[in-house]
Structure 1
Amino acid sequence: MAVCHLFAEVCYELNGMEIDRKKNVGITSVMKGHLSLTPGQQYSLENTGWLSDDAELTDASENFDVVLPLSMLAFVEDYCRVIVNDKHELILTRSNTDLNAVIQAPPMENFKITLNKIEWLLTYINLADEPKIQLLNYIAKDLAISMSFRSWETYVYLMLPSTTRHVWAVKTSTHLEKPRYVIPGFQTARKNDPQKNASELDHCRIRDVKLFLNSQCYPHGNMNLDISNNQYAILYNMYVQFQTVYYNKKAELCYRSMNL
C-alpha cells in the first residue's frame, strides 16, 4: 500500500464530531489488508496501489492514478445504512516524508511526490415518494440512531530491547470498547529507507507469541516457531479473538525470539 504511506493520519468527522482517526496509515492498511483480503481480492486491487513485487504503479512519465476504498484504511466499513442531512468531512494529513512510498535502486535520486487532485466519491441515494415520506416521518420523531462500527488502533513500539523475551503492555479497555483482535507485526530498519519496502513485515526469528488478558493466556500452549526453517503453519490459525471479554482488563503481549 505505497499510496497510504503518503499520509501520516486520516480522520473522519460527521457534523464536526470526530468518528474515527487512523495514524500510521501505511503500515495499518498493510496489516489489516493481509488479514482481511482474500488472494482474489488482492489481485483485483492493483488500481488501489496493492501491488506485487514486480508491478509498477506509475507510467513512463511518473504519473499515477489510484482508487482507494476507505475500508482498506481500517475504518468506515461496518455501518452500511443511509445517513441523512449530515456533513461528512475527511481530513488527510500528509506525511513529512515520501521515502516510505517508493522503492529506489542505486544511484539514489532526490524526488518529490505531488498530489494534483483528490476526489472523495460518496454514494448518493434518491428515494421514491413513498419511502421518502416514511423516512421523513421517522426523522420527525427525533429518535436516537445507533451507529455501531469497529475501530482499529495502532500502537508502535519504536525501540525494542535486545533481549530474547519481552512483555509489552498494550492497552486497558474502557466500558465503551470491546477488544476483539490483537494483531502483532514486526519491522526491522525499513522506515525512511527508499531502498527497502516499507510495506513488508519481518519475522525477526520469532519463536513464540502469547497474549495475556489478566490471568488468561492465549494461546495456552507454546507455538515453538522456527520461521527460518519453514515451521510457522500454526500462525495461520492464530487469529486471537475474544468471544467473551470483560471490561477493564489489562492486556499484555509477550514475544520470544530465537537465541542468537
Structure 2
Amino acid sequence: MFSIHEGIPTDESVVSYKYHIHESYTSRYNNNDEIRIPLQEDLCTLPSESYLYIEGQLLKSDGTASGINTKFVNNGIAFLFSEIRYEVNGFVVDVNTKPGLTSTMKGLASFNKSEAVKYENAGWFPGKESTIVKNGRFSVCIPLKMLLGFAEDYKKVMVNIFQELILIRSNSDKSALKCVVTTDASGTKKCSADEKAKVVIDKIMWKVPHIIPGLHEEVNLTKFIEKGKDIIVPYRTWELHSFPSLPNTTRHTWNVKTSTKLESPRYIIMGFQTDRERLEADSSEFDTCDFSNIRLFLNNERYPYENLNISFANNQFATLYEMFTQFRSAYYYDYKSETDITPSQFAKAFPLIIVDCSKQKTGFQTQSVVLRVEFETNTAILANTTAHILIISDRVFTYNPLTKSVK
C-alpha cells in the first residue's frame, strides 16, 4: 500500500486478438458426410479459445416447422456428429468418437453453475427442456474445449503450423432428438405425428482467435522457431468405450483396454443406458440399473479401495454422489467441489460413477497397463443395456514449426 511510486501496469505482449472465420471445403452437412475445416499456417492461433458456430433447422418430415413437438436433448447438437478430430499437419492429435455422449458425461461431472448457464448458448440444458429452437431454426456456439481434451488443457498458441478440424455427421439424428409421447384411446403410448423430424444444418464455421504478438514477443518466437526445437504439447484425451447388450446377470467383468505407461488412465467415468436408442427416450440421460458396486483395476492396483455398497432403491448413494462432486476439484486442481447437478437430479437422470485413479505408483513393472472393470448390480441387468466408460488419460505430442514435423 506504500508503493505510491509505481506507474500504471500495462500488458503489450498482444497487439491484436481477432476471431477469424474458417469454413469447410464443402457446404454439404448431411448424414455420414465428412466436414473438413482447414486452418492455414499463421504465426499464432489459439485453438483453446476457438468455437464452432452451427446454424440450422429442426423440421417435420414434410419440411415445415409449425406445431413441431420434437426437441433436442441436452447437448443435442454435439449428438449430431459421430466423430470429431483435430489434426496438425495431417497428424491426428486428438479424436473424440461419439462426441455427444462423451462431452455430456464429461460436462455433467465438471461444469459448475456459472459454466452451465454460459453453455446454454451451446445447447447445454441438463434436466431441463431445450430452448435453442424457435420457429424451427437454431444456432449455437460450441467451445472446442467442450469437445476435445486438447483444447481444454493446452492454453498456449499454436505457431506456424497447418491445422485441421474434421467433423463426421452421424448416420442418424435419433440420439440428438426426443419426441413427445402421447397416449391414444387404447392406452398405447407412441410418438406424436412429427416423430420423423429431421435436422438440416445450414452453416458450420470454426471461429479461431488469430493473434499478433507485440514486438518483444514476436522476436522471442522468431528466435525460438529458428533454433528448430520441438514444441511439447501435453494434454488429456477423452476416450469412450462401450459394452453393448450386457448379459442378464448381476456380476460383470470387462477387460476394457491395454495402454502404455505414458497413457495410463487417470480418471474413469462410467454410465449405464437401457434402451436409449429410441426417439421416445433421452439419450443424454443415464439409468441406475440397480448398480451396487464397482472395482477398477490397473494391472493389480484396485480403485476405489473399499466397496461402495450402493442401493438407489433405498436412497443409499451418498458415497457415489460425493465421488461425482469431487471430480472437478481433482481434475482442475482448484480445491473446490462444485457441480450444477443436485443429489435428486443425480439419482434420477445422471447416476455416473467416477473413479479417480490419478494417483498411481510410478514403478509399474510392465510397459503396459491393463484396465479391467468389475461391477455388480442388486438385480439382473435388463435387456438392451449398454455400459459406457469414458477414459481420461495423459497424452503428449510434439511439433516443429520450422520442419513441420509432428510426433
* Category of TM-score, reference length = shorter chain: over 0.9
CA distance in 2, matches of 1:55, 1:130: 47
1:195 is matched with 280
Deviation track 1:180-224 (CA, whole Å, cap 9, x = no partner) reads 011111101012x11111100111110111112222221222111
CA distance in 1, matches of 2:166, 2:133: 25
Superposition pairs of residues 107-122 of structure 1, within 5 angstroms? 107-109=192-194, 110-122=196-208
2:172 is matched with 97
2:318 is matched with 233
1:153 is matched with 239
Secondary structure, counterpart of 2:222 in structure 1:
helix
Secondary structure, counterpart of 1:152 in structure 2:
strand
2:211 is matched with 125
Secondary structure, counterpart of 1:253 in structure 2:
strand
Secondary structure, counterpart of 1:19 in structure 2:
strand
**Which structure shows the bigger proportion of residues in strand conformation?**
2
Which of 37, 45, 49 is the equivalent residue of 2:119? 45
8 A contact 2:123–2:130 mirrored in 1? no
Aligned CA-pair RMSD: 1.5
8 A contact 1:28–1:74 mirrored in 2? no
Report the CA distance between 1:225 and its aligned residue: 0.6
Secondary structure, counterpart of 1:143 in structure 2:
coil
Report the CA distance between 1:126 and its aligned residue: 0.6
8 A contact 2:273–2:287 mirrored in 1? yes
CA 249–175 in structure 1, closer or farther in 2 if over 3 Å, else same:
closer
2:57 is matched with none
Superposition pairs of residues 208-223 of structure 1, within 5 angstroms? 208-223=293-308
- Range with bigger deviation, 126-135 or 202-211: 126-135
CA 74–132 in structure 1, closer or farther in 2 if over 3 Å, else same:
closer
CA distance in 1, matches of 2:90, 2:282: 36
Secondary structure, counterpart of 2:223 in structure 1:
helix
Secondary structure, counterpart of 1:183 in structure 2:
strand
In structure 1, stretches of 5+ residues that fail to align are: none
Which of 133, 152, 159 is the equivalent residue of 1:58? 133
CA distance in 1, matches of 2:262, 2:292: 34
CA distance in 1, matches of 2:270, 2:359: 19
CA distance in 1, matches of 2:223, 2:129: 55
* TM-score for both structures, normalised by structure 2: 0.61
1:87 is matched with 162
Instruction: For 2:130, give the aligned amino acid.
Output: A
Report the CA distance between 1:172 and its aligned residue: 1.3
2:347 is matched with none
CA distance in 2, matches of 1:231, 1:212: 24
Secondary structure, counterpart of 2:220 in structure 1:
helix
2:369 is matched with 249
CA 219–128 in structure 1, closer or farther in 2 if over 3 Å, else same:
closer
8 A contact 1:187–1:201 mirrored in 2? yes
Instruction: For 1:73, give the aligned amino acid.
Output: L
Secondary structure, counterpart of 1:130 in structure 2:
helix
CA distance in 1, matches of 2:213, 2:308: 55
8 A contact 2:264–2:369 mirrored in 1? no
CA distance in 2, matches of 1:196, 1:53: 14
CA distance in 2, matches of 1:217, 1:26: 30
Aligned length: 258
In structure 2, stretches of 5+ residues that fail to align are: 1-74, 181-190, 324-353, 381-407
Instruction: For 1:115, give the aligned amino acid.
Output: I
CA 124–233 in structure 1, closer or farther in 2 if over 3 Å, else same:
same
| More relative contact order, 1 or 2 (CA 8 Å, 6+ apart) | 2
Instruction: For 1:243, give the aligned amino acid.
Output: K
1:172 is matched with 258
Report the CA distance between 1:176 and its aligned residue: 3.4
Deviation track 1:119-156 (CA, whole Å, cap 9, x = no partner) reads 11111111122221121111100011111111111001
Which of 83, 94, 101 is the equivalent residue of 1:27? 101
2:221 is matched with 135
* TM-score for both structures, normalised by structure 1: 0.94
Q: Does 1:13 pair with 2:87?
A: yes
8 A contact 1:11–1:18 mirrored in 2? yes
CA distance in 2, matches of 1:36, 1:95: 26
Secondary structure, counterpart of 1:195 in structure 2:
coil
8 A contact 2:175–2:283 mirrored in 1? yes
